[in-house]
């Protein structure tokens, strides 16, 4: 980067504290996903768990609708991110309200995901009985790992710029796989192409 005198400065070497932060930043999202997987595998399923007062088939349908709403919020998040980073509509810098809306919807999506995930883990745990269920279990664990990664990247000024779109894309992909492997499956009369 040019200095005020026009000369290029040598890049600063990462300090020990930066290296520790980078290592924790890489390990924490993975540890989050693995922890959810382990809890889900060692949890005894409680098939009668209710979701907002609904049980059985009613809870499954409600969860499918909430999951569809979550996927819709995720699509809006991607569109807002494209606006924020000048990839849509010819904007080079998004108005402040776009950034604020992105943040509010992101936290809203996270809050919406928690009861869905809680019901999944408590009712079924982590299952690997079929390709669809295995994909759903992996994507559910990846969602929260990607969420942790995105929060860490957003709050760090020392990480490479490409990590933010990578974390956001991983988060969106996890939500997409979750939606395809369960809410769409339920709302489409227990069938989706390829599963």
From first to last of its 195 residues, the chain has per-residue pLDDT tens of 444 544 544 545 667 766 776 777 778 899 999 999 999 999 899 999 999 999 999 999 999 999 999 999 999 999 999 888 776 555 556 678 988 999 999 999 999 999 999 999 999 999 999 999 999 999 999 999 999 999 988 887 777 778 889 999 999 999 999 999 999 999 999 999 988
Q: What residues contact residue 170 under an 8 Å CB cut-off, 6+ apart?
A: 142, 146, 149
- Residue ranges of alpha helices (H) inside the chain are 16-41, 56-84, 96-123, 131-154, 163-181, 183-187
CA 165/CA 149 separation, integer angstroms: 11
CA 75/CA 127 separation, integer angstroms: 27
| pLDDT value at residue 11 | 47
> Distance between alpha carbon 42 and the CA centroid of its chain, in Å?
23
Whole-model pTM?
A: 0.83
CA 169/CA 52 separation, integer angstroms: 30
């Amino acid at each position: 980067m040019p200095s005020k005198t026009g000369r290029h400065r040598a890049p600063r070497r990462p300090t020990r504290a930066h290296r520790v932060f980078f290592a924790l930043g890489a390990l924490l999202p993975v540890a989050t996903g693995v922890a959810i997987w382990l809890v889900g595998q060692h949890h005894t399923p409680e098939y009668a768990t209710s979701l907002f007062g609904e049980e059985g088939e009613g809870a499954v349908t409600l969860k499918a609708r909430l999951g569809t709403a979550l996927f819709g919020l995720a699509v809006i998040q991607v569109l807002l991110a494209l606006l924020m980073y000048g990839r849509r509509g010819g904007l080079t810098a998004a108005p402040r309200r776009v950034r604020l809306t992105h943040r509010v919807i992101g936290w809203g999506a996270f809050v919406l995901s928690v009861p869905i995930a809680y019901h999944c883990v408590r009712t079924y745990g982590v299952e690997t009985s079929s390709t669809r269920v295995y994909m759903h279990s992996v994507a559910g664990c990846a969602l929260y790992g990607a969420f942790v990664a995105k929060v860490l990247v957003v709050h760090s000024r020392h990480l490479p710029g490409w990590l933010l779109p990578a974390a956001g894309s991983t988060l969106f992909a996890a939500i997409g796989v979750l939606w395809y492997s369960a809410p769409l499956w339920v709302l489409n009369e227990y069938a989706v192409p390829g599963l």
